[in-house]
Amino acid sequence: MSETFRPDNPDQLRDLLAWATSEEKTIEIVGAGSKRALGRPVNADHVVELGGMAGITLYEPNELVMTASPATPIAEIEAALSENSQQLEFEPPDYGPLLASASGGQGGSGARSNAPAGTLGGAIACNLSGPRRVKSGAARDHFLGFHAVSGRGEIFKSGGRVVKNVTGYDLSKLLAGSWGTLAAMTDVTVKVLPLPEKTRTALLVGADPARAVQAMIKAMQSPHEVSGAAWLPASLADGSGVELVSGQKGSVAALRVEGPGPSAEYRCNALREMLAEYGGTEELHSINSIAFWREVRDVMPFARPGDDRAVWKLSAPPASAPELVAELGEIEGAETFLDWGGGLAWLALPAGTDASHEAVRAAIERTTGHATLFRAPEEIRRAVPVFQPQPGARTMLAQRVKAAFDPKGILNPGRMYADI
């Protein structure tokens, strides 16, 4: 019979996993459970909830560092940080609404609530990052160290609490994006950074993907330190909660700059001048900017209530975006918007029986990069490769790395690939 365990401390977790590996019982690791609809479904013998260990254990604003238990809600982390005008610079997304809308608002906060659904550990374990990825890196770039219990039932650590550290292998990178398949973390240490004083967003209205991507490339090549570059087709810009965006009645390319007041204003003006050759421009100030980029971050264009289409996340070289959008557009009912200066394409299409995985993967094959099936009914995520299939030698190395941490395969079995 499946049981749910809720250890209070790392020693209990170690005892539990040592037992599980001895008995070869599989375990699903859960923080807040907000990402269970992401990745491949896991059917484990038992569930371990890490919520019993939640909380911030160290926060030194002057040192730009924070340590917390992985099950600490992002909402709690962000509240503590904002008191000191700091933030997680990788902009952890909140996919609550995106994942809930497909199930008709059941099982999550269908309507937009202010508190994000996930935990810090979840954002790191899935290496999820927002629009600032283009400038500031991914979750993994802000992840300094951890303690964890391996699938062997042993407590171990890696990294530390300082940014500059090359002592031993950087296992933090391996754990970020491993979806709980290597170890169950018991604390994580992250770099935190100052909140920008001001945010400005320059908008380019009415550009098709080719021109919009051209404009975004030009902006990203400028010295203006663009910290977000996205493009929404007219059909999706129309649904934005930010009136200056929805009111344009056309496609919108958006470029964000952040920093001290005079600098953000100067750079926004410079970008608008640069964009003028591609079409009409507009700008968003701080409050509208924050609202707009939150929509992009959380894939809100595909999170409208009742939207039950399959959603794909494609990472490709930014300059290949027009080609990719065109090719994906050939798929019946497909709709795409871009983030990361064109390097990230969000695609929605009718789920059907297989989320058109062959056509999507064929497209990404041509541009290079990878495609992840991000939202789809469980039966499709079970049948279709959710993560980009890897060539033979890479699969072999991944299997060996998995075995190095979890030789009996007890942790989140099948979460990433059928055999990992």
Partner 1 sequence: MKMPEPDRETLAKRVEIAAALSRIVTAEGGVIVDEDELRPYESDGLTAYRQPPLVVVLPETVEEVRQILRYCHENEIKVVPRGAGTSLSGGALPLADGVLLSMAKFNRILDIDFDNRCVVTQPGVTNLGITNAVQHKGFYYAPDPSSQIACTIGGNIAENSGGVHCLKYGLTTNNVLGVELVTIEGEVVRFGGKHLDAGGYDMLGLLTGSEGLLGVVTEVTVRILRSPETVRAMLTGFPTSEQAGDCVARVISAGIIPAGMEMMDRLATKAAEDFVHAGYPLDVEAVIIIELDGPAVEVDHLIERVTEIARECGASTIRVSESDAERQVFWAGRKAAFPAVGRISPDYYCMDGTIPRGRLTEVLRRMAELSVKYDLRVANVFHAGDGNLHPLILYDANVPGELERAEEFGSDILKLCVEVGGVLTGEHGVGVEKRDLMPEMFSEDDLNQQMRVKCAFDPSSLLNPGKMFPELHRCAELGRVHVHHGETRFPDIPRF
Number of residues that bind partner 1 (CB under 8 A): 102
Looking at 134-142, 280-288, 291-299, 350-358, which segment touches partner 1 (CB under 8 A)? 134-142
When the beta carbons of 237 and 255 are compared against partner 1, the nearer one is 255
Three-state secondary structure call for residue 397: helix
362 to 381, contacts with partner 1 by CB under 8 A? 368-370
8 to 27, contacts with partner 1 by CB under 8 A? 8, 12, 15-16, 18-19, 21-23
Q: Is 192 in the site for partner 1 (CB under 8 A)?
A: no
Q: Is 56 in the site for partner 1 (CB under 8 A)?
A: no
Which tokens in the block code for residue 138?
């991914």
Q: Are 118 and 130 in contact (CB under 8 A)?
A: no
When the beta carbons of 102 and 148 are compared against partner 1, the nearer one is 148
When the beta carbons of 197 and 208 are compared against partner 1, the nearer one is 197
Angular region, 180: left φ>0, alpha ψ -120 to 50, beta rest: left
Looking at 60-68, 98-106, 203-211, 243-251, which segment touches partner 1 (CB under 8 A)? 60-68
Q: Is 93 in the site for partner 1 (CB under 8 A)?
A: no
Looking at 116-124, 187-195, 290-298, 349-357, which segment touches partner 1 (CB under 8 A)? 187-195
- Across 174-206, b (16+ Cβ under 10 Å) vs e yields bbbbbbbbbbbbbbbbbbbeeebebbbbbbbbb
Q: How far is the CB of 275 from partner 1 (least distance, A)?
A: 17
Q: Are 201 and 268 in contact (CB under 8 A)?
A: yes
Phi then psi for residue 30, to 5 deg, are -135, 135
159 to 178, contacts with partner 1 by CB under 8 A? 160-174, 176-178
Residues 193-212, mask of contacts with partner 1 (x by CB under 8 A): xxx-x---------------
Q: Is 85 in the site for partner 1 (CB under 8 A)?
A: yes
- Across 42-71, b (16+ Cβ under 10 Å) vs e yields bebbbbbbbbebbebeebeeeebbbbbbbb
Q: Is 1 in the site for partner 1 (CB under 8 A)?
A: no
Q: Is 55 in the site for partner 1 (CB under 8 A)?
A: no
Q: Are 220 and 134 in contact (CB under 8 A)?
A: yes
When the beta carbons of 276 and 397 are compared against partner 1, the nearer one is 397
Q: Is 317 in the site for partner 1 (CB under 8 A)?
A: yes
Q: How far is the CB of 16 from partner 1 (least distance, A)?
A: 6
Q: Is 119 in the site for partner 1 (CB under 8 A)?
A: no
Q: Are 328 and 360 in contact (CB under 8 A)?
A: yes
Residues 94-113, mask of contacts with partner 1 (x by CB under 8 A): --------------------
Dihedral, CA atoms, 240, 246, 252, 258, nearest 10 degrees? -60
Identify the bridge partners of residue 189 per DSSP, sorted by sequence position. 67, 145
Phi then psi for residue 306, to 5 deg, are 90, -10
